């Protein structure tokens, strides 16, 4: 993983850009990020199909020590993985099929789960920002035109006081 530091965009309190070269590195990023996460954290994942959102979440689950295989919850919308080590549960949501904004998300009771869990929402941009002012937004882009088909550019952006001063460069 390569981790150059970037200035924070408007409204962000922390930001970093990383280059990943394999799914294993994407999963490792998830394990590393899990060390920064605590109950009440909302992680929003953005990226095209096959970018690595679920792979990253699998690493988060491993790092948090949760029960159950972390797989895409596309057809069940949300899946709860309780902690096996006394930490927060992982609530993994796939908002791809949810067309509405926060109204549809409210039906999932994420606001109830959020204080005690780490909530990860794939395809959540434009849908979950109003759940909390504090969130970590992870954007994963495939690098097009590269000889390395597995290469991804990942941008980590922390929003709100929770992320102020957090070193997202992970270096």
> For 7-63, what is each residue's pLDDT tens digit?
445 567 889 999 999 999 999 999 999 999 999 999 999 999 889 999 999 999 999
Rg (CA), the chain: 15
Strand stretches in the chain, DSSP E: 12-20, 42-46, 78-81, 89-94, 117-122, 135-142, 152-159
Q: What are phi and psi of 167, to 5 degrees?
A: -85, 100
What is the per-residue pLDDT for 120?
Answer: 94
Q: What is the pLDDT of residues 102-145, one digit of tens each?
A: 555 555 555 556 688 999 999 888 878 877 889 999 999 988 77
| 3-state secondary structure at position 25 | helix
| 3-state secondary structure at position 3 | coil
Q: What are phi and psi of 133, to 5 degrees?
A: -75, -25
Which sign does the torsion angle of CA 80, 81, 82, 83 carry? Answer: negative
| 3-state secondary structure at position 31 | helix
pTM across the whole model: 0.84
Nearest to 159 by CA among 1, 6, 10: 10
Q: Are 40 and 119 in contact (CB under 8 A)?
A: no
């Amino acid at each position: 993983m390569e981790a150059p530091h970037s200035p924070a965009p408007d409204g962000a309190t922390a930001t970093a850009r990383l280059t990943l070269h394999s799914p294993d590195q994407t999963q490792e990023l998830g394990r590393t990020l899990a060390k920064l996460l605590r109950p009440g954290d909302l992680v929003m994942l953005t990226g095209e199909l096959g970018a690595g959102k679920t792979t990253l979440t699998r690493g988060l689950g491993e790092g948090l020590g949760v029960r159950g295989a972390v797989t895409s919850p596309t057809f069940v919308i949300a899946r709860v993985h309780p902690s096996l080590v006394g930490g927060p549960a992982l609530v993994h949501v796939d908002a791809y099929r949810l067309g509405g904004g926060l109204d549809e998300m409210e039906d999932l009771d994420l606001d109830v789960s959020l204080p005690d869990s780490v909530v990860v929402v794939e395809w959540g941009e434009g849908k979950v920002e109003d759940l909390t002012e504090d969130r970590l937004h992870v954007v994963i882009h495939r690098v097009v035109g590269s000889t390395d088909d597995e290469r991804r550019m990942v941008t980590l952006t922390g929003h709100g006081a929770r992320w102020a001063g957090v070193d997202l460069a992970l270096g």
